[in-house]
Structure formats: structure tokens, C-alpha cells
Amino acid sequence: MILSQYPHRLSISCRLGSLRDVLEYHGYPFSEAMLFGLASALSFAYVRPNEKSDNTEFILINGSIHFDYHEISSLLRLRYSNYLPKDNIEAWELARQIMEDRQPVLLSASLPIYLPYLKSSQVTSANPTQLSEKQQNFIQQSQQIFSRLRTPVGNHITQLIGFDEDKDEAYIVENNISMVQTIPLSVLTESRNPGMDCIKSPNNEMMVFYPPQKMPSINFAIKTAIFRMVHSFLYTSYPSSGWKAIKNLKEDLPYWPDLMPNEKLQNSLFMMYYLSETTGGGGFYRKLYSRFLFEASKILEDPVLLECSMGYRKIASIWREFTTACMKGAFQAEETVRNPEIFELLNLLVIHEYELARKLESHINLGQENDWRIYELGGNKI
């Protein structure tokens, strides 16, 4: 069986893209940028290197640390179920039952395990060759990055939209590839519960969404989401997240060679670029948040949000300059992390990130719950 005419579109984030597809399948066509903003997902994470970090192969740096399906489900009044089956047999039986109810299933998986089975596609568009090259580059870059790691990473989300047990085939959709992918069902099962050490093991996790008959409209949700993001970014007590984490990164970076072996240092510089540009859509999700604020400014007729949108686009370009320089200099890692020009880029980011978040904080005024309007099933596209 397979879900016919499943509305899959390319996306930056596997989590956002999966939710976007599911919502459109149920008649609610959000943009990926809008969902990212409504999830209050913009932040910054930097897990400092220390003596306990030898069990990982790179330093975690990312622009989104708390994309929480539960939080956005609450905001949009979605019914959301999360499952952690105890073994592979129970996991597959549950996935099959959900599929037989004509519901797509979001699966946590280790992408490197089934990456060799993925194929890029030729897509009918204004420029199909360019699009196909972009998809192929995603596969190639992923293979290059993951080939440096001894253990796979298991925090990817894929969508199961069909299966054929007789053929040992699973039909999935990936956020960076247009066409439906066919991979061995046995390989998908392995990727969901790898029999090896795995950075953030998937543990057979699966998710299902059931949207309401009527969904709240966007105005109050946008303001609430921006408020939550800004408050978390500026005032979190955790030094490894938010604006404080950017400050800590600036202070720590020149000392990385003293805190880790050269191979781990190189991996960290490569992975930082990969997470920023390949999986983060440019500038550690700042470009995506800029698009959210642009949409929000049109919906709320708010010129200040438009100004902030332009501000985050500028910040994204600075992050891109920083991570590109780190990636290009990865094989001269010690010289790279102590480069004064790279330090100055981080210094600019510390200043601009704080100023822009404070501008949003001072601007957003939350209204009352009755400000919600009903977004009708099949209504205008958000």
C-alpha cells in the first residue's frame, strides 16, 4: 500500500518538512518557514568541549535546539502521539497499523544507514537541472561528512508513506529529495534501531499527527511564538543555549586545540558548516527565521517585523561567512580557530544577535486568547 498523491515538497529541516507535509495532507498548507517560527525553534546551541565529551566525535553547534512537536501541536491544537516501542517487531506492527488507517508515520532514523539507497530525482520545474544538482549535492555532502565519523548519527526524521512486505520495500519521503524513495524494509528497520553505538539513537521512535477540524488562525500564534523564542534565547539559564552560548563560543574557539585532538577539531569545523548550511538552510536557520518574519509582517501588517526579517538575513550571511571560513580551513584547524578575522565575525554576531532579539522583545505585545480567528479547513494558504 502507498498513500496516493501525498503532498511532499522539498524542505530545509527534516522535522519541519515532515510536519509541513502531514499538515498539507490533512488540508492545512503551511509554509516551512511559518512552522519554524510558530515552533519558536530559533535559538543557538554550543556544547562546550570538556573531558566528558570523548564519547562524541564533534562539538555540537546548531541554530535550533528545541524544535518541539509537542509545543507547536499545543499552539495549533493538533493531536499528537509519540511512540517508543520496546522492540523492532512491536515497532513495525504499530507502524503498519497506523499506515492501514491512511496516516503517514514520522520515523526517527539514522540516515547514514540507508543513505546509499537514496536516489536524486529529475523534477519538472523552471530549472530542473539545477534542482537535481542541489539534491545530488545533499547526498554527496552527507556521505562526505558521515564518512569522517566512526558512529552514525540518529536524529533524522523520515516519513513512511507506504510499504510492500512481500517485496521487502518501504516507501519514504526525504526532506531534501523530491521523489518517493524505495529502500529495503529491513534496512529501514535497522536504521530505526541500530545494533551499534549511535549518536542520539533513534530507539524506534515514531510520531503521528491528527489535526483538528478547525485550526486557530495565525495572528495570536505568531506573537506568542516570537515572545517564546526571544525569552528563551535571551534569558535561558543554560550556558550551552541561547545568546550566552554564542558568547561562550566566541570565548572558547581559540582554545579548542587545547581541549580536543586534531581529528575531533577538524570534524567539528566540518560539521559546523554542514549543520549551518546543509541542514540549517543558511546561517544556522537565521535565513529561515527571516522568511518567517517576512510572512508574519505581511499577515500582521507590521513594518517592524519586516525590518527584523532583513536583520536576520544579514545575520545569516555573517554566520555563513564564519562557517565557510571554518570549513575551508579545517585541515589547518589550529590556525583557523585562532584567526583574528574569524574572531571578529563572532564578535559581530554576539552584538547583532543580542540587539535584534531585544528589538523583537520590545516590540511584541501579546493580545488575548480571543484574538484567535478560525483557520478554516481548506482556507487560504498561510
Gap between the Cα atoms of 244 and 248, Å rounded: 6
Q: Which residue has the cell 495572528?
A: 219
CA 66, CA 72: separation in Å to the nearest integer? 11
Q: What integer pLDDT is reported at residue 130 of this predicted model? A: 44
Rounded Cα distance, 9 and 237, in Å:
37
**Cβ count within 10 A of residue 360:** 20
Cβ neighbours around 178 below 10 Å, total: 20
Q: Which residues contact 80 (CB under 8 A, 6 or more apart)?
A: 69, 70, 73, 207, 208, 209, 210
From residue 3, how far is each of 28, 29, 179 by CA, in Å?
Answer: 17, 18, 14
Residues of the chain with pLDDT under 50: 54, 121-132, 367-382
pTM of whole model > 0.95? no
Looking from the CA of 291 toward its CB, the CA atoms found within 13 Å total 15
Helices (H) and strands (E) in the chain, counts: 15, 10
Q: Which residues of 229-254 are buried (b: 16+ CB within 10 A; e: fewer)?
A: bbebbbebeeeebbbbbbbbbbeebe
Non-local (6+) Cβ contacts of 285 within 8 A are 12, 13, 36, 41, 42, 63, 64
- What confidence score (pLDDT) does residue 133 get? 56
- Find residue 81's DSSP bridge partners: 208
Residue 37, CB-side half-sphere exposure with 13 Å CA sphere? 30
Give the pLDDT confidence score for residue 370 in this predicted structure.
Answer: 40
The CA-atom distances, in angstroms, between 200 and each of 174, 197, 379 are 19, 9, 39
Give SS3 for 64. Answer: coil
Tell me the CB-side half-sphere exposure of residue 235, using CA atoms within 13 A. 8
Measure the CA–CA gap between 182 and 162, rounded to whole angstroms. 9
Pairing, β 206-210 against β 79-83? antiparallel
Query: Which triple of cell numbers denotes residue 275?
Result: 549543520
CB 292 within 8 A of CB 283: no
What's the confidence (pLDDT) of residue 71?
A: 80
Residue 368 C-beta-side C-alpha neighbours within 13 Å: 1
40 three-class SS: coil
Q: Which phi and psi angles does 292 have, rounded to 5°?
A: -60, -50
- Provide the sign of the torsion angle of the four alpha carbons 136, 205, 19, 67, taken in this order: negative
Contact criterion met (CB below 8 Å) for 5 and 38: no
User: For residue 287, which of 298, 297, 276, 302 has the smallest C-alpha distance?
Assistant: 276
Q: With beta carbons less than 8 A apart as the criterion, state whether 176 and 138 touch.
A: yes
| pLDDT per residue as tens digits for the range 88-132 | 999 999 999 999 999 999 999 999 899 899 986 433 333 333 444
State how far the Cα of 327 lies from the Cα of 311, in Å rounded to an integer: 25
Residues 6 or more apart from 101 whose CB is under 8 A from it? none
